[in-house]
Structure 1
Amino acid sequence: MEMHGVQHMMMNKIYILAAIFLISNWSSCYYDVEEELYPSIECQTQNLSYTNDIVSILEQHCYNCHSAAANFGNVTLEGYTQLKSYVNSGQLLGVIRHEDGYSPMPKNAPKLRECEIAKIVAWVEAGAPEN
């Protein structure tokens, strides 16, 4: 009987060691593919349109607080004429880039994505056309 108990304990140890070996090998089969982890995102900053490109960014991030209806901080960005005054003063780029001396926008929300900022910058540098 005692021999049978020893064999049983040995078999249990072998099963446990085999399980540990298999689990450790399966978990080490993980690999990173840089292209999958960090896909390249092409940011189109050429031939931007106020109507098709810029307004959609403003609608998503700005109009909740700075539309004609909301007008928080006495700032309205809805409509080309209103927006253009903030473009001309440098305030628009200052607040979205979180530059010193400007209140970072959007307030209490994450900074705009780099591509969105790049699009607004390119549009401003192109003269902020009303197109």
Structure 2
Amino acid sequence: MISVSCSKDNEASHDNGSCTTEDQSFASDIQPIFNTYCTSCHNSSNQSGGQNLTNYEGVMNAIDNGKLIGVITHASGYPAMPQGAAKLSDCNISKISAWITQGALNN
């Protein structure tokens, strides 16, 4: 079995100690995370795992099907994403989780 990494290395795997999770905006805070680490594999022409994370609707699909948090936190029973790369930073995971908790608005 060959494993292919579709993602860039997670350069932000080590936080600098400051992470703001209040008032997360999809366009400003969340989509850039997916664009950097996820959309090389999860896009409209290459929907790896059936996921397109290039837009709000695709991200909501990943939330609604219950997979998003499991894969980015490397939870047991979920494939670790980004595949073949370092886990997202704790800050990026916190931002995504906070945005979902704040209502996952398309803002």
Instruction: Give 1 or 2 for the bigger CA radius of gyration.
Output: 1
Structure 2 partner of 1:106 = 82
1:41 aligned to 2:21? no
RMSD of aligned C-alpha atoms? Answer: 1.4
CA 1:47 to 1:67, structure 2 compared with 1: closer, same or farther past 3 Å? same
Query: Where does 1:109-120 land on structure 2 (aligned, <5 Å)?
Result: 109-120=85-96
1:89 and 1:122 map into 2 onto residues whose CA distance is 18
Query: Where does 1:1-131 land on structure 2 (aligned, <5 Å)?
Result: 41-131=17-107
Q: Percent identity, aligned pairs only?
A: 37
- What's the secondary structure of 1:78's corresponding residue? coil
CA 1:43 to 1:74, structure 2 compared with 1: closer, same or farther past 3 Å? same
TM-score normalised by structure 2 residue count: 0.81
Number of equivalences: 93
Greater per-residue helix proportion = 1
Residues 51 and 62 in structure 2, CA contact (< 8 A), matched pair in contact too: no
Q: Deviations over 1:16-35 (max 9, x none)?
A: xxxxxxxxxxxxxxxxxxxx
Give the C-alpha shift of residue 90 in structure 1.
2.1
Once structures 1 and 2 are overlaid, which stretch shifts more, 86-95 or 47-56? 86-95
Structure 2 partner of 1:30 = none
- What's the secondary structure of 1:65's corresponding residue? coil
Give the C-alpha shift of residue 40 in structure 1.
5.2
The unaligned stretches of length 5 or more in structure 2 are 1-14
* Greater RCO, 1 or 2 (C-alpha within 8 Å, sep 6+): 2
Q: Deviations over 1:14-59 (max 9, x none)?
A: xxxxxxxxxxxxxxxxxxxxxxxxx952100001100000010000
